Structures are given as structure tokens and as C-alpha cells.
Amino acid sequence: MKDFEFYNPVKVFFGKDQVAQITGQVPAGSKVILIYGGGSIFKNGVYDRVKSALKGYDLTEFGGIEPNPTYETSMKAVEIIKQKNISYIIAAGGGSVIDATKFIAAAALFKNGDPWKILSEGAEVTEAIPFGCVLTLPATGTEMNKNSVISRKSTQEKMAFSVPPVFPKFSILLPDAAGSLPQKQVANGIVDAFVHVTEQYLTYPVNAPIQDRFAEAIMITLIEEAPKVYAKPDDYEAMSNLMWSATMALNGLISCGVPGDWSVHSIGHELTAFHGIDHARTLAIVLPGLWKTLREEKKGKLLQYGERVWGIKSGTEEERVTAAIDKTEKFFQSLGIGTRLSDYGVKKDTIDRIVTRFEERKWLSMGDRGLTTPQVTRKALEIQL
């Protein structure tokens, strides 16, 4: 096991009766802004529940955060926050609303020029407006981590940042509100959470059995719950299990002391930046392609994964690796998610653009042991054409 530091200060409230907890968490006298997306919170009752918990606070509202939240929209919220001297933010919705809130919270106090530098240059973030989250969509894990992914429309870029000041102060997880999700978003959530686990697990063995078994437990749970919650998003118990799995998949626990490989996400973000494909769907394309390309280098973990997660025990090593990759791709497809670029009308020219971009950014050896070179990225995408 490698050396590690683990810190996660997010207070979690889980379950359908927890919205009222907001009142005890937001300091009295705060000037609050409620940030939300395109309106789902009005349909599933979350808006009314949050409003009633915020009774008595000086409250401003900012709606219209889009899926794959943009710098452009976020900066409009920053203006309002500065004008009104807002001191606390409540984010209500999915990962996009929470990610936008993290960027807004940091940008509003950023004193070093254009806040885009937080994303493009990794400019230092020393402070952020405190915020709490009300989560209605299980997928990203953003409710319990310090990451945020923001897109810039004008340049077709999608970039991430990760800094401690943007840990939420608290997060309220609402499986009942997630019951109103369309099947497509439930499928996205399952795949995103699953790939978060593989990004921290499917590297090479380092004798970290606790982390491996935590990771395998999350994947097995996702595989078991997926058909139930996909068929019936308002199955409260199945949705609860999905929601907690997704949170646990990316709150830092399973990455302690193990190598990571976030290259599936890095490549996937480019597919969203160029074509607007849903985040999880990009992962479902890239992951099988990357594993097929790096099957030799990742063989140790692929065999362990195949055996412990999918029960693949017979056949030669080569056959078992092939079966593990095949099972994973079929799992994504069973949720109505295409795993080929052609399923989304994407052609070879996009592969050229992505590879050129990585070369320009000098992203020449990403991920696990630096294995994801531009050539590997090209091959991984070509396999999935």
C-alpha cells in the first residue's frame, strides 16, 4: 500500500425526511442564495421543501444551471453574489448544479484575475463561500468531494479542479427526490458511479485488500441494484442503495493508498466538449476501448475484477480478461447505453482532434503508470468506432 492522507469533512444527512436539517446547518442571519438547474426541483417538490427549511433567511434564487455546467452561466451567479453580499449557498439538484456551485463559491472570492484560471491553470483557491447541497441525482459523488467540472462554451473546453475549500459543509441526500428521474439519467448515474470505482481500482495490484474489497463491494452492489432501479426509479430502497454507492464511489475512501487512472474521464470529457454527449455515456465508450488497448498492462487487476465481481473463474487468462471486458460492456448496454462512437454519430475526425488537443496540452502520459499516451488514446477510441 502507498502512503496516503485522508480527509473528508462533509456532514451527510441521508433519507427522505432530512431536508429540514438545513435550518440547523446554515448560520442564523446568513444571506443565502439557492442555486438550481433547469426546473426539476419544481416538479419533484424539492423546491418547496428547501424553501420552507430556509424560511426566515434573507433568500435570493438563481436558476438555469445547465447539465455540463458552464463558466458563462456560473459567472452570472458570481455577479449576483457580489452585488448582494451573499454569505451562504444552497445547491439543489444533480452534479451539475453542485459542481457549478463549487466553482461559483470559489470564483466569488477569487482575487487573482479571471476565475477561469482556476480551471485552465490550476490557480490557487484559498477560500470559497460556504455551501450546502441537496442532492437529487445519484451519480457523480460531488456531494461528498472537492471536485468540480466546468465547461466553457466559447472554447468548447471541459476542465476539472479539485481543492479543499470547495468541500460542501453538508449534503442532504434524497433518494425519494431521485425517484422522479427519467430512466436515462438513472442509467447515467449507475455507469458514472461504476466507472469512478474502476478509475481507482483497475490499475495494478499493490496489496491493498481493504480498498480492493470496498471497491468490489460497490461494483457488485451497483450491478445488483441496477436492474431494479433502472426499471423503477421510484423504488425507494433500490434508489437508496444506488445513491449511497455513488457517494461512496468518489468520496476519497477507496482511493486511499492505491494508484488511480483517470484517463477514461479525461478522454470522455473531450467527447462531451466536442459533441455534448452525456458524461456517463462518454465513459461507457472509452472504458472498454482503453481496457482492450491496455489489457496486457492491466491484466492482474482485470483477472481479479473478472473473478470477484463477475464470477469468471474458468478459461485461460486471455479468455478471462476478454470475458471481464465483455461483461462490463454488456452491463452498460443493458442500461440502454451505447458503447460505440457510431452510436452517437461520432467519426474518426473527432479522434484526431482529441489526440491533437492532448499533444498541445502536453498530456503525453496520463493515468496509471503514464500508460495513456496520445497513441493509446487514439487506439482506444478507434477500437470503439
Q: Can you read off the three cell numbers belonging to residue 238?
A: 433500490
Buried b (16+ CB within 10 A) or exposed e, 37-61: beebbeebebbebbeebbeebebbe
Interface residue with ligand NZQ among 107, 128, 166, 178 (CB under 6 A) is 178
Q: Can you read off the three cell numbers belonging to residue 211?
A: 480498498
Interface residue with ligand NZQ among 18, 74, 101, 136 (CB under 6 A) is 136
Question: How are strands ordered across the β-sheet holding 88-93?
Answer: 11-14, 170-173, 131-135, 88-93, 31-36, 58-62
Residue 278 as a binder of Zn ion (CB under 5 A): the answer is no
Between 77 and 177, name the residue whose CB sits nearer to ligand NZQ.
Answer: 177
Interface residue with ligand NZQ among 18, 57, 67, 273 (CB under 6 A) is 67
Using CB under 5 A as the binding rule, the residues of this chain from 70 to 99 that contact Zn ion are: none
State how far the Cα of 27 lies from the Cα of 89, in Å rounded to an integer. Answer: 11
Amino acid identity for residue 64 in this structure: G
State how far the Cα of 116 lies from the Cα of 118, in Å rounded to an integer. Answer: 5
Between 256 and 323, name the residue whose CB sits nearer to ligand NZQ.
Answer: 256
Distance of CA 134 to the CA centre of its chain: 16
CB of 99 to ligand NZQ, least distance (A): 5
Between 136 and 320, name the residue whose CB sits nearer to ligand NZQ.
Answer: 136
Q: Which residues contact 293 (CB under 8 A, 6 or more apart)?
A: 376, 379, 380, 383
Q: Which residues contact 327 (CB under 8 A, 6 or more apart)?
A: 306, 310, 312
CB of 45 to ligand NZQ, least distance (A): 10
Residue 185 as a binder of ligand NZQ (CB under 6 A): the answer is yes
Distance of CA 379 to the CA centre of its chain: 25
Between 265 and 301, name the residue whose CB sits nearer to ligand NZQ.
Answer: 265
Between 19 and 267, name the residue whose CB sits nearer to Zn ion.
Answer: 267
Q: For residue 108, give the DSSP letter.
A: T
Instruction: Give, to the nearest 10 degrees, the angle between helix 183-201 and helix 263-275.
Output: 140
CB of 218 to ligand NZQ, least distance (A): 15
Q: Which does 320 bind (CB under 5 to 8 A by kind): Zn ion, ligand NZQ, none?
A: none
CB of 205 to ligand NZQ, least distance (A): 24
Q: In this chain, which stretch among 21-29, 38-46, 319-327, 357-365 interacts with ligand NZQ, using CB under 6 A? A: 38-46
Amino acid identity for residue 5 in this structure: E
**Could you give the string, one character per residue 252-291, with x where binding to ligand NZQ holds by CB under 6 A and - elsewhere?**
-------------x-------------x------------
**Cα–Cα–Cα angle for 40, 45, 8, rounded to 5 degrees:** 75
Between 49 and 279, name the residue whose CB sits nearer to Zn ion.
Answer: 279
Q: Which residues contact 316 (CB under 8 A, 6 or more apart)?
A: none
CB of 67 to ligand NZQ, least distance (A): 3
Using CB under 5 A as the binding rule, the residues of this chain from 189 to 228 that contact Zn ion are: 192
List of residues contacting Zn ion (CB under 5 A): 192
Where on the chain is the footprint of ligand NZQ (CB under 6 A)? 37-41, 44, 67-68, 93-97, 99, 136-137, 139-142, 145, 147-149, 177-178, 180-181, 185, 188, 192, 250, 265, 279
